[in-house]
Structure 1
Amino acid sequence: MTVSRVVELEGHIIDSGMMQACFGIVMDLDGQFDVEEFRVGRSKTEESYCRMTVLADDPATLRSIVHELHQHGANPADPQDAEVTAAPADRVVPPGFYSTTNHPTEVRYEGEWLPVERIEMDCAVVVHPADEVGANAATDDGPQERPWAETKVLNAVSEGDLVVTGETGIRVHPPERPREKRAFGFMQGGVSAERPSESTIAQIAEELQHVKDDGGDVLVVAGPAVIHTGAREALAELVREGYVDMLSAGNGFAVHDLERDRYGTSLGMDTETLDHPRKGHKHHIYTISEVIRAGGIRAAVADGLVDSGVMYECIENDVDYVLAGSIRDDGPLPDTITDAVEAQNALREQAHEADMVMMLSTLLHSVAVGNCLPSTTRVVCVDINPATVTQLLDRGSAQAVGMVTDVGTFLPTLADYVLTRS
């Protein structure tokens, strides 16, 4: 018995590779396809359209094929309302719940397509009906007039939440490769240390300026290497001049930044001379104790204990920062969030506000923030280790630039372009 389903693809499906990928999925999963209609966009703005019938030998195989096609933006031609099932208990989702991608998504509810708010990958979709009251209401003033949908991480699901299950009534819109050549999107062919770094940094600086000119927010995700490599002053200057709106880092980054202010070293090494002063290995723990004694970073700045660096500029310029702790932290600093779920939620709030994210030499924090980002957010990932850059760009974002280079070279050059050449 042969079963079939008609699906549609719309947009720049040829040059983005979407159509080719969908054809490959059908064949790889032992299905067949029959293209019923195909219209080619003949200009940079005109979109293409493909309507095809997908065939399989049994319903289970067809479901698998349609599921994979759905992740790549192929949507059923005969949409129906999404299936919703009430969560049986707090933090418990119904079997077969729909697990989100990081692409813009809509769900069909009562005949209306609802954009899913706060989209990120590996979440459940919860639908809030019109006239809903209580904690899930859209405003504190009472019930909302129209239904709406949002993502929820599993530990935020409440008993009774209407969770989308199955694949019916869901539309996914993967970002498409822009036809015009810009910094974001043109480096999708892979990661290479041999790309022209100077010109790429210049384009990143231009994009950063565009984001700020448009009133957007920039999130910097930074690792201790920013301090070790001597890029501290460049990042501090970008913060001071208003090019950084949020900072996400770990306890180690803040400690080394503060140590540089207090002792002129980072993890015991003088970042200018590369010397290791006597007892320098104790500087980081001395720094932690002094900041704890002061009552935290903000108090240390207010008391004049700290008067330079990235954390200092964040305090002085009201830049929001999240320091997420780990099992290996010394101290930690009073500002460090040691509860993993609390830290994750704080990172998530920053990620959803960001229009551009610069991930600088930190694999773990970059992955943590990357897990919360929609695929449409501009991302710059810089690391001397190619594996770090590849892992971040493999997430499927079409708005990403990857550079395999020393962050100690990247940041001063970026600051130079932004602050003196723009």
Structure 2
Amino acid sequence: MTVSRTVELEGHIIDSGTMGECFTVVMDLGGEFEVEAFEVGRHAHDESYCRLAVTADTEGDLREIVHELNQLGATVADPRDAELEAAPADGVVPVGFYSTTNHPTAVRVDGEWIPVENPEMDCALVVDRDESDPVVRTKTLNAIEVGDLVVTGEAGIRVDPPERPREGSGAFGFMQGGVSSERPSPSLIGEIADEMRSVRDDGGTVLAVCGPAIVHSGGRDALADLVAAGHVDALSAGNGFAVHDLERDMYGTSLGVDTEHLEHPRSGHKHHIYTISEIARLGGIEAAIEAGAVEGGVMYECVRNDVPYVLAGSIRDDGPLPETITDSIEAQNAIREQAHEADLVLMLSTLLHSVAVGNCLPSTTSTVCVDIDPATVTQLVDRGSAQAVGLVTDVGTFLPMLRNELLE
């Protein structure tokens, strides 16, 4: 005896490949499907519609198939309200809880579809009935509190993945990013600059996610110029980036190497730890700037121009600097707050922080990932940040070109 359920697909399901993906999911998971209705959009802006009867051997198999289809944007026909179950303890979710994507999502509560606030991948959905109208939010598992009403199962959940219409939408069109070192970099950088101008003109926020290679490769001054000119509104980095940016100003080196002449000054390998010691002695980055110990660089421009920054620590940090957040959950929450405010994210040569920020971003946020290693861009996209445009190039070349596009 088999079990079945009817699901529906709407939108640009042919051009974006969604329909084919749904067919593949059903077959890969051992199910079968029958197309009950199929209407093809005949013009560029027309949407298509498909209704499938999905069959599986057991209810468990069917539930798994429907879950995967839901992640791709399929919805169950004749939906019921979402199933809610109270969390049994702090940090514990009910069995069978719904694990989120980073796509715009709505949950059916009391017969009404309610948009989820701040969509984020790998979270639980919690319904708050304390407001005048129900509110649905994402919560990380460690933030779950006993009694939270957690969405379970697949019923009453509607996911809306960004689609690729036939006419496309430039470098930032969904699923048009890809990864290639053969891209026409000047033209793509021009498009990125245009997007940054557009975000600025609309009063939006550009978040720069920075790795130490920016300093090592000579891109620091260009990034500092962009911060000073108001093209970067927030910065997320690790202890290492800030240390080497400050070291460059205080000692003329980055990790002990003169980035202009590529020389190794005597005792240069100690410069980064001397930098941390001096900044700590002066009371922190802002105090060091006020004292005149730091006179330029990215962190300098962030302080001088009131650009907020988050420095998230790791197990391998030296020091660290006084401003570095060493509690990983506290750092994650600070990064999450930045990510939710961002309209455009530049991920600049850092795998660790790119993936960390990417995990917090909704799929509707324009994202650019620049790295000399294609594996960094690939891993980011594989982790779910499919909206990312990947540019495989030296960040020390990219940033001066971007600065020239925006400032000259």
Q: Check whether TM > 0.5.
A: yes
Native 8 Å contact 1:205 1:414 kept in 2: yes
Deviation of 1:180 after TM superposition, in Å, equals: 2.8
Superposition TM-score, scaled by structure 1 size = 0.94
CA shift for structure 1 position 398: 4.6
Q: Are residues 1:145 and 2:138 paired? A: no
Task: Give the residue type in structure 1 aligned to 2:149.
Answer: L
8 Å contact kept, 1:376–1:398: no
Which residue of structure 2 lines up, in the alignment, with residue 351 of structure 1? 339
Give the counterpart of 1:167 among 148, 151, 154: 154
After superposition, give the CA deviation of every residue in 1:322-362 in whole Å (9 maximum; x if it has no partner): 00111111111000001111111100100111111111111
> Given that residues 227 and 253 in structure 1 are in contact (C-alpha distance below 8 angstroms), is that contact kept between their aligned partners in structure 2?
yes
Q: Is the 8 A contact 2:25 2:68 kept in 1?
A: yes
Q: Would you say 1:72 and 2:78 are equivalent positions?
A: no
CA–CA distance in structure 2, aligned partners of residues 199 and 30 of structure 1: 45
Is 1:399 matched with 2:396? no
Match of 1:341 among 329, 344, 356: 329
Residue 88 (str. 1) matches residue 102 (str. 2): no
Please name the residue that 1:30 is paired with.
30
Q: Which residues of structure 2 form unaligned runs of 5+?
A: none
Tell me how far apart the structure 1 counterparts of residues 184 and 177 of structure 2 sit (CA, whole Å).
14
C-alpha distance in 2, partners of 1:71/1:362? 28
Rounded Cα–Cα distance in structure 2 between residues aligned with 1:384 and 1:284: 24
Distance in 1 between residues matched to 2:175 and 2:188, nearest whole Å: 10
User: How has the CA–CA distance of structure 1 residues 185 and 255 changed in structure 2, closer, same or farther, with 3 Å as cutoff?
Assistant: same
Partners of 1:181 and 1:350 in 2: how far apart? Answer: 26
Q: Name the counterpart of 2:403.
A: 415
The alignment status of 1:205 with 2:193, answered yes or no, reads yes
Kindly state the Cα deviation for residue 2 of structure 1 after the two structures are TM-superposed: 2.5
Aligned residue in 2 for 1:157: 144
Opposite residue 81 of structure 1, the aligned amino acid is D
1:251, 1:197 → 2: CA distance?
30
Does residue 261 (structure 1) correspond to residue 213 (structure 2)? The answer is no
Q: Which residue of 1 aligns with 2:107?
A: 107
SS of alignment partner, residue 226 of structure 1: helix
Question: Which has the higher mean CA deviation after the structures are superposed, 275-284 or 51-60?
Answer: 51-60
Q: Deviations over 1:257-290 (max 9, x none)?
A: 0011111111111111111111111111111111
Kindly state the Cα deviation for residue 66 of structure 1 after the two structures are TM-superposed.
1.0
- Within 5 A, what are the aligned runs for 1:16-415? 16-129=16-129, 132=130, 144-178=131-165, 179-185=167-173, 188=176, 190-415=178-403
Cα shift at 1:394: 2.2
- Indicate the larger mover: 23-32 or 228-237: 23-32
Cα 1:47–1:396 shift into 2, 3 Å: farther
Q: Deviations over 1:343-391 (max 9, x none)?
A: 1110010011111111111101111111111111111001111100111
Shift of 1:205: 1.1
CA–CA distance in structure 2, aligned partners of residues 204 and 76 of structure 1: 38
How far residue 42 of structure 1 moved from its aligned partner, in angstroms, is 2.2
State the partner residue of 1:135.
none
Distance 1:189 1:318 in 2: 32
Residue 155 of structure 1: CA displacement?
1.2
Cα distance per residue 1:77-96 (max 9 Å; x no partner): 11000011111111111111
Whole-Å separation in 2 of the counterparts to 1:338 and 1:150? 27
How much has 1:32 moved relative to structure 2? Answer: 1.6
Deviation at 1:57, TM superposition (A): 2.6
Q: Determine the C-alpha separation between the residues in 1 that align with 2:195 and 2:170.
A: 9
Asked whether the 8 Å contact 1:323–1:335 carries over to 2, the reply is: yes
8 A contact 1:184–1:398 mirrored in 2: no
Q: Determine the C-alpha separation between the residues in 2 that align with 1:330 and 1:300.
A: 18
The share of aligned pairs that are identical, in percent, is: 71
- The residue identity in structure 2 corresponding to 1:163 is V
- Which residue identity is paired with 2:156? G
CA contact (8 A) 2:162 2:174 kept: no
Distance in 2 between residues matched to 1:198 and 1:66, nearest whole Å: 43
The TM-score with structure 2 as length reference comes to 0.97
Q: Deviations for 1:297-335, whole angstroms, at most 9, x for unmatched residues?
A: 011111111110000000011111000111111111000
Local SS of the residue matching 1:288: helix
Aligned residue identity for 1:321:
Y
- Report deviation, 1:105: 0.8
What is the identity, as a one-letter code, of the residue corresponding to 1:68? E
Partners of 1:189 and 1:379 in 2: how far apart?
9
Count of residue pairs brought into register by the alignment: 407
Q: Does 2:4 align with 1:4?
A: yes
Matching residue's letter, 1:214: D
Preserved CA contact (<8 Å) 1:176 1:398? no
The code of the aligned residue for 1:305 comes to A
* One-letter code aligned to 1:165: T
Counterpart-to-counterpart distance in 1, 2:191 and 2:253: 33
Q: Which moved more, 1:26-35 or 1:257-266?
A: 26-35
Q: Distance in 2 between matches of 1:20 and 1:366?
A: 30
Deviation of 1:246 (Å): 0.8
